[in-house]
Amino acid sequence: MSYEINLMAKLVADLAKKLSDSDIEIVETHHNRKIDSPSGTALILADSINNALDGQMNYEYARHEKREKRSKKEIGIHSIRGGNEVGKHSVIFFSNNESFEITHNVNSRAVFASGAIKAANFLFHQEPGLYDMNDLCR
């Protein structure tokens, strides 16, 4: 329910189209009690990039098991678990001579309540229909 993560998903999708020759990596960090890996948020970011690139990308979770050159059609997804980190997500676009990184940090779980309130306020002013958090970012 984070508004800013949904905004980030939109931004990285737009960047993926503009930086289509880049290698793309997602790094996500959460507290040491988190069970799922990668996080749902990392997958939202990967899916938004993949959708922008017409579904041509593959997700690579275990590069350490591979002994081959990195594919241009992969999105690397890396999970870090430690301490009491609420959530940090970075999407990095690597070209031959530079890199571009967007990072979102959550410092308090209050952002999820704030996002829910933003969504409720948005819905209050809409016609009946089906909406999701992406509609807030348009």
**What is the C-alpha R_g of the chain?**
16
Residues with catalytic function: 30, 34
Residue 138 scores a pLDDT above 80: no
Number of domains in the chain: 1
Q: Which of 78, 13, 75 is nearest to 48 (CA)?
A: 13
Q: What domain range includes position 36?
A: 3-137
- The side-by-side arrangement of strands in the sheet containing 58-60 is 58-60, 74-81, 23-30, 87-94, 99-106
Q: What is the spatial distance between Cα 67 and Cα 59, in angstroms, rounded to a whole number? A: 16
Each residue's pLDDT tens digit, 94-125: 999 999 999 999 886 656 656 677 777 777 88
When mean pLDDT is compared across 45-54, 61-70, 82-91, the lowest value belongs to 61-70
Query: CATH no. for residue 97?
Result: 3.30.360.10
Q: What is the spatial distance between Cα 90 and Cα 24, in angstroms, rounded to a whole number? A: 10
Each residue's pLDDT tens digit, 15-63: 999 999 999 999 999 999 999 999 999 999 999 999 999 999 999 998 8
